[in-house]
Amino acid sequence: MSAIEPFGARLRRAMDERGPLCVGIDPHASLLLQWGLNDDVAGLERFSRTVVEAVADRVAALKPQSAFFERFGSRGVAVLERTVEEARAAGALVIMDAKRGDIGSTMAAYAESFLRRDAPLFSDALTVSPYLGYGSLKPAVDLARENGAGLFVLALTSNPEGAEVQHAVRPDGRTVGATVLAHLAEENAGQTPLGSFGAVVGATLGDLSSYDLRMGGPLLAPGIGAQGATPADLPRVFGPVVRDVLPNVSRSVLRHGPDVGALRDVSERFVEEVRAAVAAR
């Protein structure tokens, strides 16, 4: 049996070929209403399938937010399963935004839900929280390696509340966020062209020169669009690692639905703006 190509290599290729952009699939109630859909399972499915139809064959990654599906119970999770399957079939990498984090067998079970290749919700990567200690993520790290998947670990997030934990200084003088980045650098050591273990780092955070972002893996960057950051901000925030940044855009694309053509046009515009910003670095 041939070896499974690691997530980092697949993501590097997708970013180079399709452009560095991740589009979120966030079917919250207000967006469903804006699209003229009911806040129910039928509306959820119509919304998700429209986003997949519009952009899954042209952007590097799609990022469904699992909470907006889980709120409808088992029928919502069934829609999420179909969304993941159809997005991957169209060529997009799927980053499951579930932000799981626990210990021992529970963390292992979360990992099996999203990172085992025969799981109904198998995704190319999963967002995880390290705030029960980075070592608690080991079951997810191990299963991701085994299945050619990846992780995006919360490191320096765009929400203001995150600073009270992530910027806290440890006894060794290093911040918690910097410690997470250092662990990821160890995970990615020797991996080319890009490691499979990435960090979530907000594009709205401004000057991050006090942090070493050279951790050898991708940087998933929320905050473009509705949260106030623009593609032009990326070189200033991420500096020498900007080529490894995967900006995530959700509301600023999704609000153009349900028109498939409009969703395509705005996503392609974001791709070109990000490419131009990276090239200008």
Catalytic residues: 99
Residue 190 backbone phi and psi in degrees, to 5 = 80, 0
Q: What is the 3-state secondary structure (H, E, C) of 54-122?
A: HHCCCCCEEEEECHHHHCCCHHHHHHHHHHHHHHHHCCCEEEEEEEECCCHHHHHHHHHHHHCCCCCCC
Tokens of 3: 């070896």
Q: How many CB atoms lie within 10 A of CB 39?
A: 16
39 three-class SS: coil
Tokens of 195: 């490691």
What are the b/e assignments for 61-89, b being 16+ CB within 10 Å?
bbbbbbebbeebeeebeebbeebbebbbe
Give how far Cα 235 sits from Cα of 72, 135, 245, 278, Å.
39, 31, 10, 7
Question: How many residues does this entry show for the chain?
Answer: 281
- For residue 202, the one-letter residue type is G
Residues in a beta bridge with 93: 61
Distance CA 48, CA 65 (A): 11
Please check whether residue 122 is in contact with residue 93, taking contact to mean a CB–CB distance below 8 angstroms. no
CA angle 180, 224, 41 (to 5 degrees): 95
